[in-house]
Amino acid sequence: QEREALVGSLQDSPKPPPERVSLTLRVLNAARSLLLVACGSSKAPVLQRILEGKEEEQLPAALLRPRSGRLRWLLDEAAAAELSIPVEKPSGM
């Protein structure tokens, strides 16, 4: 939800590490190329929410929309297992 800052910091993140620095959506959506990587079945439900969800309160990754760049997702089969949208598999797989 940050609109002005380029970088944000947390001192008490609920997930490790508690102290972290993150690029904001403003910076990420200005990128020429974004690659998101997710592996494992534990990621499947959240990926379905991000890529297929119609939620009012979207997760941050669902707000990634590069203005003049390209967004790609790299998922293993377990992470993509709950998706109903078409998934492109690399040749030879």
**CA dihedral defined by 7, 61, 57, 4, rounded to 10 degrees?**
20
Q: How many CB atoms lie within 10 A of CB 21?
A: 8
Mean pLDDT by 10 residues, the chain (93 residues): 87 92 94 96 96 88 93 95 87 68
**Model-level pTM?**
0.79
- The residue type found at 44 is A
Domain ranges of the chain: 1-30, 33-92
